A and B are shown apart, each in its own frame.
Chain A
Amino acid sequence: MTCPKNERTLSHQSPYYVIEIPKPIDLRGEYVSKYMRKCSMYVEVYVNLPYNEKTFYIYVGESEEKASDFIKYLMLMKGKGIDEVRNIIEKYSGEMAGQVISHFGKKLREIAALMLWADARFSAKYGEPELGMVLDLLTNEPLFLVLTFPNCSSDEWDRLITLVKDTLRSSGLEELTGMVAVVCAEGLKEELTS
């Protein structure tokens, strides 16, 4: 695929580029159109870049969209050093950070991006999110991650799940939707006591 001329690097260390193209958009290839149908504001294509990772992110848009907000954090994390990413994981998971890092290490940047995005987008309303884990009761091995919002009700819980998971999907992170559960601490209490 030919890259548009007005490309710019997000960071000199990052293999990711942000490209802003005014509408109407002329993007070629079935791969692109598949993503365009899912989310008109964001597409992901593969190109031959001289870097280890060959994922090429493109913003297409006139306005800010939820998915592209998340992609900004994702790109930011892709450009950061591993220590900085670990610090973010530690900020949200506290003393469990070591276990999170050792079990979900392959997706650490994506998880860090999710936490930063969730904090920026929802903390004013639902409180600062935390990153926890469900452990196997017999082996104590982590099974999946839990993104907890302290102050959201049971009614808001379903809406939050949809919002977070749809954002991950439209950002090309389908795999992460099966690794993270969204939990509303207040909502859970309501459900179990009602």
Chain B
Amino acid sequence: MRRGTERGTNELDPAPFIELVELYLSRDKLDEVLIRRFISGLYYCIFNYWGLKKYLANKRGGGSRQDKFSLDNLYCDLLSKNMDKKLIILLYYRVAADHHVLNPTIAEVYISKTRHFPKKEVYLTRNALEKAYKIAMEIIEKLN
């Protein structure tokens, strides 16, 4: 493993992880814990990959090694690339997977004047993981 500025983006390339998700999606056995961890993993591997790309493009973050990035900057980048729909759907899955224990559950990613608009039922199934996987692929493609 290389350190600091010697790092290349391929070291945090999410492709191998995405292949693993793909492999599990093709299998019969896929339990809820795996679905939750894969959704969360897809979300954070996008974040890591985006952060490293920023770092290598000399857009440094915070922390002693200037390698600490915040999620709001990633959101800003994705929204600037018209990826609103993908980001919002992925956020609902991520919040349901990491912060709720019931399945299906009611997740609320944003707040709005009409309170029921942001309250959506999220069911963490194979279909949900497949959708999160496709969204992650599209986001990574845009980041490249």
A146 at the interface (CB under 8 A from B): yes
A96 at the interface (CB under 8 A from B): yes
Q: Are B79 and A143 in contact (CB under 8 A)?
A: no
Interface residues of B in 65-116 (CB under 8 A from A): 71-72, 75-77, 79-80, 82, 84-85, 87-89, 91-92, 95, 99, 109-114
A-B pair count, CB < 8 Å, reads: 97
Q: How large is the interface on B (under 10, 10 to 19, 20 to 34, 35 or more residues)?
A: 20 to 34
Smallest Cβ-Cβ distance to A137: which chain B residue: B99
Smallest Cβ-Cβ distance to B92: which chain A residue: A192
Partner of B114, one of A150, A165, A174, A181: A150
> Closest CB-CB distance, A181 to chain B, in whole Å?
4
- Residues in A with CB closer than 8 Å to B76 are 144, 178-179
- Residues in B with CB closer than 8 Å to A96 are 111-113
Q: Are A161 and B85 in contact (CB under 8 A)?
A: yes
Interface residues of A in 113-138 (CB under 8 A from B): 130-137
Q: Are B87 and A181 in contact (CB under 8 A)?
A: yes
> Closest CB-CB distance, B12 to chain A, in whole Å?
23
Smallest Cβ-Cβ distance to B115: which chain A residue: A94
Partner of B110, one of A94, A135, A162, A193: A135
A185 at the interface (CB under 8 A from B): yes
A177 at the interface (CB under 8 A from B): yes
Interface residues of chain B, those whose CB is within 8 Å of chain A, are 71-72, 75-77, 79-80, 82, 84-85, 87-89, 91-92, 95, 99, 109-114, 117-118, 120-123, 127, 131
A-B residue pairs in contact (CB < 8 Å), sample of 8: A93-B112, A130-B114, A146-B88, A148-B118, A158-B85, A192-B89, A192-B92, A192-B120
